[in-house]
């Protein structure tokens, strides 16, 4: 598996340090608010697990999963729930936890959905941000790392459902996905 990686972009240590910093900031900002932290599966499962263990306030654990139709989906209308959130967000502050913000379409979709459900606010914490890929005018309120437009895997992110269990984030060798 490691031999499929061209370069390591973010090491375990860099990730752990940044996750701690993000958790500290989130703890300061949300400590006295009724807040729902939502993991968007599958990509965010490791980031979420690490982040919540550094969060210093009582929180519930919540998951959802969305699916986008077709590659190159350009509209949030093409996103639907594969696994909806099972807790109520009405009157609460929602913080969406993502492994990556790319086109921004998922965030647009979730923001509207939670607002429609009566959330007081909807923000996002994305470990990675690929601003070059943005298709809509939206940005995550908390970002771990801005990264170039390269094919990254590991720490939850996949190619063809593989590599999610790598403990670091690496750039995949082009010959792997161009096969």
Is residue 123 involved in binding ligand PRP (CB under 6 A)?
no
- What are the residue ranges of helices labelled H in 31-171? 45-52, 105-116
Tokens of 176: 């792997």
- 102 among known catalytic residues: yes
Residue 83, helix vs strand vs coil: strand
Minimum CB–partner distance for residue 32 and ligand PRP (Å): 29
In the shown chain, the binding pattern of residues 15 to 54 toward ligand PRP, with x for contact by CB under 6 A and - for none, equals -------------------------xxxx-----------
Minimum CB–partner distance for residue 174 and ligand PRP (Å): 18
Closest CA to 135 of 175, 103, 167, 171: 103
List phi, psi (to 5°) of 22.
Answer: -60, -45
Question: How many Å apart are CA 172 and CA 107, to the nearest integer?
Answer: 25
Minimum CB–partner distance for residue 58 and ligand PRP (Å): 26
Beta bridge partners of 68: 79
Binding positions for ligand PRP, 84-113, rule CB under 6 A? 98-106
For ligand PRP, the closer CB: 103 or 123: 103
Name the residues that contact ligand PRP, by CB under 6 A: 40-43, 68, 98-106, 158
């Amino acid at each position: 598996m490691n031999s499929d990686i061209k370069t390591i972009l973010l090491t375990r240590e860099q990730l752990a340090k940044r996750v701690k910093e993000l958790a500290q900031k989130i703890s300061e900002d949300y400590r006295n608010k009724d807040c729902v932290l939502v993991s968007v599966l599958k990509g965010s499962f490791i980031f979420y697990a690490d982040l919540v263990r550094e969060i210093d306030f009582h929180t519930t654990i919540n998951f959802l999963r969305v699916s986008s139709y077709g590659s190159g989906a350009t509209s949030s209308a093409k996103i639907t729930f594969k696994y909806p959130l099972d807790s109520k967000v009405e009157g609460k502050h929602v913080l969406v936890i993502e492994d990556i913000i790319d086109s921004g379409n998922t965030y647009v979709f979730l923001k509207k959905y939670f607002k429609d459900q009566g959330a007081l606010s909807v923000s996002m914490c994305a470990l990675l941000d690929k601003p070059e890929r943005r298709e809509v005018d939206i940005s995550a309120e908390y970002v771990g790392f801005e990264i170039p437009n390269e094919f990254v895997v590991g720490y939850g992110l996949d190619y063809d459902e593989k590599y999610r269990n790598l403990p670091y984030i690496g750039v995949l060798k082009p010959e792997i996905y161009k096969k």
